[in-house]
Chains A and B, each alone.
Chain A
């Protein structure tokens, strides 16, 4: 059977996916090691933790924007930021550690199944039931990841942001909704249905003598 070489874009995506998966595997192992150290109380309360603040902050800072040889006076009013714990209590680090483990595991799994999809496309098996199942799995997986992230943000908001006090900065109740993940899931779900139609056409073509 004559094999057709996959387009460069597909081969590049496949190569990049393999690289990402390899790096994620290393990160996953590092996160497991980090969790083991956390649960064996290796760090104690001395952990220096940087974590994303789940809400936006409002503050007023004047500055200067230099554009086209002109100075424009501006104010910085809102931002997403990170929080730094000097001595992080273990009950916080443990929660962050577990959340990191779940998110990294979830992303690794999604990239692993995406790799299977790209591998099939690269080998010319584009419109197959296997690929449709993979696309649907990816869509549902992204939705699950979005739900987890959303719940995690609510919990983090309750534990950290609700009890956070700064003198000149106001903590808003604007939690990022990560709607991009949901949009990507929707696109993949639609793509799965397009592939279903593609499969029907492919079968019809294959059975036309």
Chain B
């Protein structure tokens, strides 16, 4: 069971690069990369807020809960 981050999917849908998102939300590329690769241990509400605003999406579009098979 794990929460996975669909940031790459949302970026593709919005046709936005990680660099552009980084500039838009003011989060470093390395931190966004950690988030994209699912290596992050936690995400702040302020970060989620900024990303949702930049990508015009809901938190549910970015985060997904998957059961183990």
Q: Which residues of A contact B (CB under 8 A)?
A: 203-204, 207-209
Greatest chain B CB density within 10 A among A203, A208, A209 is at: A209
Q: How far is the CB of B34 from chain A (nearest CB, A)?
A: 6
16 new A-B pairs (CB below 8 Å) besides A207-B42, A209-B44? A203-B41, A204-B42, A207-B34, A207-B40, A207-B41, A208-B40, A208-B41, A208-B42, A208-B43, A209-B27, A209-B31, A209-B32, A209-B40, A209-B42, A209-B43, A209-B47
Number of interface residues of B (CB under 8 A): 12
B39 within 8 A of A: yes
Q: How far is the CB of A202 from chain B (nearest CB, A)?
A: 12
B54 on the A face (CB < 8 A): no
- The interface residues of chain A lying within 8 Å CB-to-CB of B27 are 209
Contact partners of A203 in chain B: CB under 8 A: 41
Residue numbers in B under 8 Å from A208 (CB-CB): 40-44
Q: Does B52 sit within 8 A of A, measured CB to CB? A: no
Q: Give A134 to B63 CA distance when docked, in angstroms.
A: 40
Q: Does B4 contact A (CB under 8 A)?
A: no
Determine the chain A residues whose CB is within 8 A of the CB of B43 once the complex forms.
Answer: 208-209
Question: How far does the alpha carbon of A209 sit from the alpha carbon of B26 in the complex, in Å?
Answer: 12
Chain B residues positioned under 8 Å from A209 (CB to CB): 27, 31-32, 34-35, 40, 42-44, 47
Q: Which of B27, B32, B40 has most A Cβ within 10 Å?
A: B40
Point out which of B27, B40, B41, B43 has the most chain A C-beta atoms below 10 A from its C-beta. B41
Q: Which of B1-50 contact A (CB under 8 A)?
A: 27, 31-32, 34-35, 39-44, 47
